[in-house]
Structure 1
């Protein structure tokens, strides 16, 4: 009887537990979709909405480490300030892994098809749930 009760509890609780994880993963994936849409519309400000608006945001790129939301935004605008430089962005996700209820780790490949010459590379992102919202707190793109 106890075994039957335990199995019944698991049958009812498992979807709830998995559903919460799926909702978080869906939110993380949606941020990347929204970023792609914003980028391809030529809107760097909207693209940046996926990042943590904080001085502790960390972006690691070919020129080293940049700290802060505003500094990261300025770098994007400096390096991709025209439609020819922005081109069309695609992300290919390689791994989306929940590290804890508060963190997700994402690895992927990015590609820009553009008139100025195509470029591509890989990235890893650390997402954190802050005040109920998922945001990128660290980005290493190369």
Structure 2
């Protein structure tokens, strides 16, 4: 009986530790994206996204599919430092949906000389090949 209780306790502890570690990794990924954006480095910012044709970005102009198309969209819409401004993320919810899937809901704000903008986002992140990446981004 003691062995069963010990095994259950170890399993629960390791699961909680993994969840805490994964959440911290995801928070770090989003912090790095914010820092990369604020350095004007869209290429580095995009490293948080899944480099797949199945990546989905949903914005005010509709759905964009694929990493390359999403990158091109960012480069077109934010083609100057004035348009990029300074990005601030505020995470509202970081929820584990499965062992390899998280949903993040947050606010974004761009402080810019050409006019501030902001809104809400919902991200789906998956752990693929040992790395957490954004597989779906719905930003409004």
**What is the rounded CA distance, in whole Å, between the counterparts of 2:55 and 2:83 in structure 1?**
24
Stretches of structure 2 that go unaligned for 5 or more consecutive residues are none
1:24 deviates by 1.0
Partner of 2:67: 69
CA displacement 1:29-65 (0-9 Å, x = unmatched): 1110110010000000000000001111100000000
Report the 3-state secondary structure (helix = DSSP H, G, I; strand = E; otherwise coil) of the residue aligned with 1:81. Answer: coil
TM-score normalized with structure 2 length = 0.94
Q: Give 1:1-142 correspondences, 5 Å limit.
A: 2=1, 6-142=4-140
Q: What is the aligned-residue RMSD (CA, Å)?
A: 1.3
**What is the rounded CA distance, in whole Å, between the counterparts of 1:25 and 1:138 in structure 2?**
17
User: How many residues are treated as equivalent by the alignment?
Assistant: 140
Q: Which runs of 4+ in 1 moved over 2 A?
A: 4-15
Asked which structure has the greater CA Rg, the reply is 1
TM-score normalized with structure 1 length = 0.93
